[in-house]
A and B are shown apart, each in its own frame.
Chain A
C-alpha cells in the first residue's frame, strides 16, 4: 500500500490473470445467459449451449455437407482467404509501386497525391452497387472492393514513409554512384518493406470488413456468405464459431506478418536503430 496506482504493476502471473480476466468474464457471462435461456426454452437458438456449438463445429468442419458433399467450413475458408489474399496482394503491389513512385519522384507526386487523397476519402461500401454492376457478382468485384478499400491507405502511407526517408541517405547513395533505379532497389525497397508489412497489418481489419460485406451481399461460398445465410434462421451455433474462426485467422495473419517482418528485416529489432 501507499504506492500510487499508476506505479503499481502486476507481476508475470498477475499480468496473465488480468489478461485472461476479460475473456473469462465474457465466457462466464455467455454460459450464464445461455443456461438461463435454455432452461426456459431448450430449443433456444440465440445463445446455444457449448455442446450444441461443438456439434455444429464437428458438422461444419469435419463432415461433408449432405447436399453438396463439401466440408463447408473449409470450402468457405478457402474461398474467403483466396479473395482476401488477392485483395491484399494487389493492394500491396499498388501501394508499393505507386507509393514509392509518388514519394520519390516529385513530378509523379504532384500528379498523383491529390487524386489518391480524394479516392481514399470515398467510402468503399458506397461504391459496392457500382462495383457489382461493373465487375459482376463474381470474385472480381469482391477483390476490387478490398483493393479500393485499402490500396489508397497503403499508397498514402508508403508515399509518406518514402518522403520521410532522411535526405542524407538518398544523398549518400548518390555520392556512392547509385542511379535512381539502384536507389529504389537497394535503399527504398528494403527499408519500405517493413513499413508496407506494418501498413498491411493495420489494413487487415478493414480488408476483412470489406470481404465479409461483399460476401454478405452476393456469393456462393465464403465465411461472410455463410454467416449472413444462416442468419436467416438465427443459427447462432454456426455464426458464433465462424466469428471466432475469423477472429483467430485475423489474429494469426497479424502475428504472421509481424513474424515475417522480423525475419525479412532483422535490422529493425537489432540494436537501437
Chain B
C-alpha cells in the first residue's frame, strides 16, 4: 500500500514561487497524470515526490510516514532522457537493482549469484520485449526500447510508487501506442501508485485514473514570479472500470466523494477553462484542491 498525502506544499527558489498551496490525497494504486502548461511546476512536483529536492513548506507523507530526504528504492523513476546507464547492456541495466541490494560492497554479483539474479530478471526482460536485445548497449536501442528498458529497470526493486517524467515525450506515435499498452499492463500487474508528468492531455486522460492539472490561479502582472502554480483541477476518472478494480479506497476521501462525482461524464469541459481566471473558478478550484 502507498497512500500519498500532500499537505500545504510550497516550493520557492528565492523569490520565485513555483508551487503553492498544494493539498492532495492520492489513494494507493492510483495512476495520476500530471498535466498543465509548460513551466507550471509539474516536474518540480515530481522531483519533490522523488526527494531530489525538498519542499520550502508543507509535507509529503507515504502511508502516514514523512518522505525520506533522498531518493530511495521505494520510489522508482523513469525520465524522458538519460534514464538508463549507457555503459551497461540491457541485461546489466536491469539486474543492477538486484546487484545493489545483494552486493553492498562491490555492487556487483559474480558466478552463481549473478546467474540466479539474471534468471530472476529474465521474466521482466521478456515482459518488456527486450529478450532479443539482452546483450545490446542502450546506444544500440531505439528510443522506445530505451524507455522500455528504463521502466523494466525501475520495476526490478518493486517500488510502491513509480514516477515518470514525460516518459514518452520523445517517441513517435506508433511507439507511444505500444508503450501505453505496456505501462497499463505493468501498472495493473504491480498495482503501484503512478505519477506521470505529460504535456499531452489525451495521453493523460487515456492512461491515468486521475488527472492532476497544474496551473497558476493567481496572477500579478507586475511580478509574474510572486505566485506559483497549484493543482487547479483534481479529476478522478471514476468512469474507468479499472479505477474501482485497482485503486484502493481512501477512507478520508468519503466526504468529498460527491463533489468528485460531479466531474464524471465531462472531464474535458473543465480543462477548456485552463487559463480561466474568473473569481468563481478560482474559488471553486481552491475548494477542490483543499480536500
Contact = CB atoms under 8 A, between A and B. Distances in A.
- A and B touching (Cβ–Cβ under 8 A): yes
Contacts of A175: 50, 71-73, 75-77, 154, 157, 159
A169 B82 contact: yes
11 contacts: A171-B52, A171-B71, A171-B79, A175-B73, A176-B96, A176-B97, A185-B108, A187-B85, A272-B139, A273-B86, A273-B138
Given A172-B79, A175-B157, 13 more contacts: A166-B81, A169-B85, A172-B84, A175-B72, A175-B73, A175-B77, A176-B157, A177-B72, A179-B107, A182-B107, A186-B99, A267-B137, A270-B136
Nearest to A167: B52
Interface in B54-71: 70-71
Chain A interface mostly: helix
A146 to B, nearest CB: 29
Chain B interface mostly: loop
A267 B154 CA distance: 21
Interface string A27-64: 00000000000000000000000000000000000000
A168 B87 contact: no
B137 A271 contact: yes
Contact of A176 (B82, B87, B153): B153
Contacts of B71: 171, 174-175
B162 to A, nearest CB: 10
Contact of B97 (A169, A177, A190): A177
A265 interface: yes
Contacts, number: 99
B106 interface: yes
B132 interface: no
B101 interface: yes
A118 B154 CA distance: 42
B73 A270 contact: no
B159 to A, nearest CB: 7
A271 B139 contact: yes
Contacts of B106: 185
Contact of B107 (A167, A186, A267): A186
B108 to A, nearest CB: 7
Interface in B145-175: 150, 153-154, 156-157, 159
A8 to B, nearest CB: 33
A129 interface: no
A174 B71 CA distance: 6
A168 B79 contact: yes
A272 B82 CA distance: 13
B77 A177 contact: no
A76 B83 CA distance: 51
B180 interface: no
